[in-house]
Structures are given as structure tokens and as C-alpha cells.
Amino acid sequence: AQSVAQPEDQVNVAEGNPLTVKCTYSVSGNPYLFWYVQYPNRGLQFLLKYITGDNLVKGSYGFEAEFNKSQTSFHLKKPSALVSDSALYFCAVRDRRSGTYKYIFGTGTRLKVLA
């Protein structure tokens, strides 16, 4: 079965330190990969996506993600965390095959950046 795993329910990091939020997936073929962020009582906002090409993808608010095909991972990273980065982060994948319209979301990782 296709699935997305975010193994950490919560990640704590000190302001100014680098952060990593992990995501692994089990989807046949080469899926499209996405990261979204959700602030309290709001919808999700798009951060970045991997389609093809360079394994390091840069996105909004200084975030980037590294695609690793052999490990089927797509970890979200930021070199220096801000308190305002504290939010809920979701990894999502979508099958490249035509006619498959479902995005599969992970369960989310709550990031807490401590001042």
C-alpha cells in the first residue's frame, strides 16, 4: 500500500540552529513530493516540491528539502530556525501515473522552535 511516514510527532530545536523534519515514502514509481506547513486553525500552505532534477529543492521562507531516491526520503531542512517557523509540517506525495489524482499525506510533524 502507498504510504507516507513522518516518524517524529514533534521536533524541538533552538532558534538559530539547523532543523530537519523527516519524511519517507512508499509509493511505486517516481512520485511527486511536496511539503506543506499549517499554522493553528488555518489551512495548509505550500512550501516546496520535487518534480525532477536537482535533489536539493529550495522553497519558501528559507526552507529546502533533500530528495534521496535510494532511501525514498524527502527530508525538510532549514539552516537557521526562527521562532516563527513553529507550526505543523506535512509531507505529501502524488503518483505520477495518469489518472491517479490522490495526494497521500503524512501524519504531520509539529515543529517547536525555542527562543
Partner 1 sequence: DGGITQSPKYLFRKEGQNVTLSCEQNLNHDAMYWYRQDPGQGLRLIYYSQIVNDFQKGDIAEGYSVSREKKESFPLTVTSAQKNPTAFYLCASSIGQANEKLFFGSGTQLSVL
Smaller CB separation from partner 1, 15 or 38: 38
Contacts of 10 (CB under 8 A, 6+ apart): 109, 110, 111, 112
User: Rounded to 5 degrees, what angle do the CA atoms 104, 62, 94 make?
Assistant: 15
Give least dist CB 52 to partner 1, A: 9
**Smallest separation, CB 84 to partner 1 (Å):** 19
| Interaction of residue 3 with partner 1, rule CB under 8 A | no
Would you count residue 61 as binding partner 1 (CB under 8 A)?
no
Residue 104 C-beta: closest distance to partner 1, Å = 9
Cβ atoms of residues 37 and 89 within 8 Å: yes
Query: What x/- string results for residues 13 through 42 when contact with partner 1 is judged by CB under 8 A?
Result: -------------------x-x-x----xx
> Closest Cα to residue 57, out of 68, 48, 46?
48
Q: Which of residues 75-104 bind partner 1 (CB under 8 A)?
A: 90, 92, 94-96, 98, 100-103
The nearer residue to partner 1, 30 or 68, going by C-beta atoms, is 30
Candidates 45, 35, 39, 19; CA nearest to 91 is 35
d(CA 99, CA 40): 33
